[in-house]
Amino acid sequence: MILQLAEARGCPRDLVGGKAANLAEMISAGFPVPEGFCITTAAYRQILPDVAAPLPVWLETGIVEAYERLSRGGPVAVRSSSTAEDLPDASFAGQYDTFLDVRGADEVLAAVRRCWASLWSDRATRYRAAHDTGHAPAIAVIVQRLVAAECAGVLYTANPVSGKRSEIVVDAAPGLGEAVVSGAVTPDHYRLSVEGETVEGPGEGCLTPSRLGELAAVGRRLEKHFGAPQDVEWAFDGDGGLWLTQSRHITTLFPVPETAGEPRAYWSVNVYQGINRPFTPMGASMIRERQRGMATYMSALGFSDEIIDVDGWLFWDITDGVRSPAKRPKMAAFMDSLAAPSGRLVEQLGRDQRFPSMPPGSEEDIPPKNRRRRWARMIAAWLWPDQARARVVRDAERRIAAFAGPDDATARQRLSFVELIRGDVCRIEANLPRDANTAGAVGGQLAGRLLRGYVDEAEIATVFRAIPHNPTTEMDLALWRTGESIRRDDESLRLLLDTAPDELAAKQLAGTLPEVIQHGVAAFLTDYGCRATSEIDFGVPRWADDPEPVFAMLVNLLRAEARFESTAATAETRIVELTRRLPVTKAHRTLLARFLLRRSRRLRGLREFPKFCLMRGFAALRKQLLLIGEEIVQAERLDRAGDVMFLDLVEVREALDGKDFRTTVARRRKVWEREARRPRVASVLLSDGTVPALESDAGEGDLVGLAAAAGVVTGRARVVHDPDGARIEPGEILVAATTDPGWTPLFLSAAALVTETGGMISHGTTVAREHGIPAVVGVPGATTLITTGRVITVDGSAGTITFGEEHR
pLDDT of 133 higher than 80: no
Average pLDDT of 168-190?
Answer: 80
Band (636; pLDDT cuts 50, 70, 90) = very high
Residue 404 in this model has a pLDDT that exceeds 50: yes
Say yes or no to pLDDT of 137 above 90.
no
Q: Answer whether residue 51 shows pLDDT above 90.
A: no
The whole-angstrom separation of Cα 440 and Cα 770 is 14
Is pLDDT larger for residue 762 or for residue 88?
762
Mean pLDDT of the chain: 90
pLDDT tens sequence across 294-334: 888 899 999 999 999 999 999 999 999 999 999 999 999 99
Superfamily of domain 149-249 in CATH is: ATP-grasp fold, B domain (3.30.470.20)
Count helices and strands (H / E) in the chain: 31, 23
Cβ-based neighbours of 387, under 8 Å, separated by 6 or more: none
Q: Write down the CATH superfamily of domain 703-803.
A: Phosphohistidine domain (3.50.30.10)
Q: Where does the pLDDT of residue 86 fall: very low under 50, low under 70, confident under 90, or very high at 90 and above? A: very low
Cα separation, 26 vs 9, whole angstroms: 9
| Gap between the Cα atoms of 331 and 339, Å rounded | 12
Over 50: is that where the pLDDT of 90 sits? no
Task: Determine the pLDDT at residue 673.
Answer: 92
For residue 711, the model assigns a pLDDT of 87
The mean per-residue pLDDT over the stretch 500-521 comes to 96
Going through 157-285 in order, the beta strands assigned E by DSSP cover: 167-174, 188-193, 198-200, 230-237, 242-249, 265-268
Strands 775-777 and 706-709, how do they pair? antiparallel
Report the alpha-carbon distance of residue 617 to residue 625 in Å, rounded. 13
How far apart CA 644 and CA 621 sit, in angstroms, is 12
Residue 130 has pLDDT above 90, yes or no: no
Q: pLDDT per residue over 13-46, tens digit each? A: 889 998 999 999 999 999 999 999 999 999 988 8
* pLDDT over threshold 90, residue 198: no
**Under DSSP, is residue 152 helix (H, G, I), strand (E, B) or coil?**
strand
Q: What is the mean pLDDT of residues 488-492?
A: 94
Grade residue 88 by pLDDT with cuts at 50, 70 and 90: very low
Higher pLDDT, 286 or 116: 286
- Over 282-316, what HEC string results? HHHHHHHHHHHCCHHHHHHHCCCCCCEEECCEEEE
pTM: 0.86
* Residue 44 to residue 33: CA distance in whole angstroms: 24
Q: For residue 498, what pLDDT band results from cuts at 50, 70 and 90?
A: very high
* pLDDT value at residue 364: 57
Greater confidence (10 vs 234) lies with 234
Q: Is the pLDDT of residue 754 over 50?
A: yes
Q: Peptide bond preceding 341: is omega within 30 degrees of 0, i.e. cis?
A: yes
Q: Which pLDDT belongs to residue 91? A: 45
- For the segment 392-414, the average pLDDT, to the nearest whole number, is 96
pLDDT for position 189: 93
pLDDT at 642 over 80: yes
* Percent above pLDDT 90 for the chain: 69
Please state the rounded mean pLDDT for residues 449-463.
90
Per-residue pLDDT averaged across 35-59, rounded? Answer: 86
CA torsion, ordered 254, 258, 262, 263, to nearest 10 deg: -10
- Name the band, by pLDDT with cuts 50, 70 and 90, for residue 53: confident
Is the pLDDT reported for residue 555 higher than 70?
A: yes
Helix, strand, coil % over all residues of the chain, rounded to 5: 50, 15, 35
Rounded CA gap, 111 and 77, in Å? 9
| Calpha distance 610→785 (Å, rounded) | 35
pLDDT score of 58 more than 80: yes
State yes or no: pLDDT of 781 exceeds 50: yes
* pLDDT greater than 90 at residue 389: yes
pLDDT at 481: 92
Q: How confident is the model at residue 127 (pLDDT cuts 50, 70, 90)?
A: low
- Rounded to 10 degrees, the C-alpha dihedral 606/608/613/617 comes to 170
Q: What pLDDT sits at residue 717?
A: 96
Q: How far is CA 653 from CA 287, 414, 538, 631, in A?
A: 20, 11, 18, 12
Res. 607 pLDDT band, cuts 50 70 90: very high
The CATH fold assigned to 2-145 is Dna Ligase; domain 1 (3.30.1490)
What does the pLDDT read at residue 760? 85
- Per-domain boundaries in the chain: 2-145, 149-249, 371-466+573-636, 471-565, 703-803
